Amino acid sequence: MTELSPAITAEPELERADWRRFRLLVAGSGASSFGSYLNMVALQLFVYQTTGSAVATGLFLVLRMASGFFAGMAGGAVAARLPRRVVMISCDLAQASMLLVFALSSNDVRVALLPVLAVSIGVLNTTNQLLLRATVPDFVGAENRMRANGLLVTGRAVAMALGFATGGLLVSWVGYTAAFLVDAGTFCVSALVLSTVRLRFPRRVRQVRQQERPSLTARSKLVLVALTAAPSVLAIVVIRCVDAFGSASHQVGIPIYATQLQPDNPSGFVGNFWAAWAIGLFAAHQLVSRIYKSGHRHDERAFVIGTAVMSAAFIAAFSGLGQPWVLLVALVAGLADGFIEITYTTRVQAEPDPARGLFFGLTAMAENAGLGIGLLVASGLLEVWTPLAVAALLHGVVIVLALGYVIQTIRKPGDRATTSS
């Protein structure tokens, strides 16, 4: 079994100016993420209020995720063949343009544009995030990717908290048109930052990227060969898929559980829950830094155990705990979520180009497929089961798989092989 990342001892620091530029990039990425979470809230509200149909709202979300799945399929090829900075800027500008047209259109035109918007957002968001993850080692060097990933997760936590908190407020205060214009502006900010911030691209990476441009057949063979050579990456892809499947239970179940628990104020419960979760996500960078600051070596088991902890926390959240305790459980879930995001991203980034981009594409496909299937299963089961039972089943699958993987690796300690990046 390969290790999750090399030892982090004697890590060569980038110059302060390089880190300042990277933090600007994190801010730009945060602006893009803020726009994504804002439109997730605003668009779902718009679809439901315009159509009056929960089915239409669900179909919009499924279409968005299905588009993300196909973007992951093509994203690896994009990462291997095209200039990533240019593609990322194009994704941001395309989203801004779509939202601008949507905001300035009449209601009838907006309804007609909804399928187009769902597809474009799914494709462009997935492509942008995939390319950013694949490019982090180019920006900061392989030795600094753990710290860089932690900064990106922290930025995403802030963006998520602000996006979820302000999405509904913007709609109620200034209306849909202004909310979508603000949303379009966030992607313009991200594109501006990407176009102006200059980070070093190692010459070796540029040469490899120019020389290795595989054909479609060669890319397919490359994925199979690479997965065979790095089975731990395949394990990560599978676990991310099952993790997304389990996550559907709480994404659908929390609003229902909140209504049962606090019928007079379900939105307050949901808001507090996700605020506590975002605080945990925000703190994950500090947790990872403290665990590995002394040159500690860690393998896939850290990622897998973190996934099991997150699933267990979400099951506990539906068990009827009192308000202080359920918020503590939400914080633990967010902390575990941020931990596994940083560790799995750092591990996949240890792979060389162009396999790295292909692996992130596979992961994006797995996550979107798992979440889409999970939403369908969870929605059906919640018609007859309690939220606790549904969460226990779907997240229980995650825990069983995670524990099985850990037990299997403990039985074969001799199979572990170190890697360096």
pLDDT in tens, 271-330: 788 778 888 888 887 777 776 664 445 557 788 999 999 999 999 999 988 878 999 999
Q: Is residue 6 part of a domain?
A: no
Asked if residue 143 has pLDDT above 80, the reply is: no
Co-location of 249 and 183 in the same domain: no
The amino acid at 200: R
Tell whether 411 is covered by a domain: yes
CATH at 104: 1.20.1250.20
Question: What SS3 class is residue 72?
Answer: helix
From 78-92, 228-242, 269-283, 300-314, the region with the lowest mean pLDDT: 228-242
The number of folded domains in the chain is 2
In a domain, 186, yes or no: yes
Do 175 and 223 belong together in one domain? no
What percent of the chain lies above the pLDDT cut of 90? 21
**280 and 352 part of one domain:** yes
pLDDT in tens, 263-281: 877 767 777 887 788 888 8
Same domain, 58 and 192: yes
The one-letter code for the residue type at 8 is I
What pLDDT is stored for residue 170 in this prediction?
Answer: 79
Q: Is the predicted pLDDT of residue 130 greater than 90, yes or no?
A: no
Are the beta carbons of 59 and 372 closer than 8 angstroms?
A: no
Question: What SS3 state is found at 3?
Answer: strand
**Mean pLDDT along residues 376-398:** 90
For residue 96, what pLDDT is reported? 94
Residue 182, CB-side half-sphere exposure with 13 Å CA sphere? 19
Domain carrying residue 410: 214-421
Kindly give, in sequence order, each residue whose CB lies less than 8 Å from that of residue 59, ignoring residues fewer than 6 positions away: none
Q: What is the pLDDT of residue 224?
A: 56
Instruction: Indicate if 276 and 132 belong to the same structural domain.
Output: no
Q: 267 or 21: whose pLDDT is higher?
A: 21
What is the model's pLDDT at position 335?
92
Phi, psi of 382 (to 5 degrees): -70, -10
Asked whether residue 373 falls in the same domain as residue 407, the answer is yes
pLDDT surpasses 60 at 91: yes
Least Cα distance to 406 among 235, 241, 244 occurs for 235
Tell me the average pLDDT of the chain.
79
Could you give the C-alpha distances from 173 to 162, 166, 218, in angstroms and in order?
16, 10, 53
From 176, 198, 213, give the residue that closes a domain: 213
Q: Which residue has the higher pLDDT, 418 or 398?
A: 398
Judge if 274 and 327 occupy the same domain.
yes
Instruction: Please give the pLDDT value at position 299.
Output: 58
Judged against a pLDDT cut of 70, whether residue 141 lies above it is answered with yes
Highest mean pLDDT among 194-203, 208-217, 317-326: 317-326
State residue 413's pLDDT score. 53
| Residue 204 confidence (pLDDT) | 38
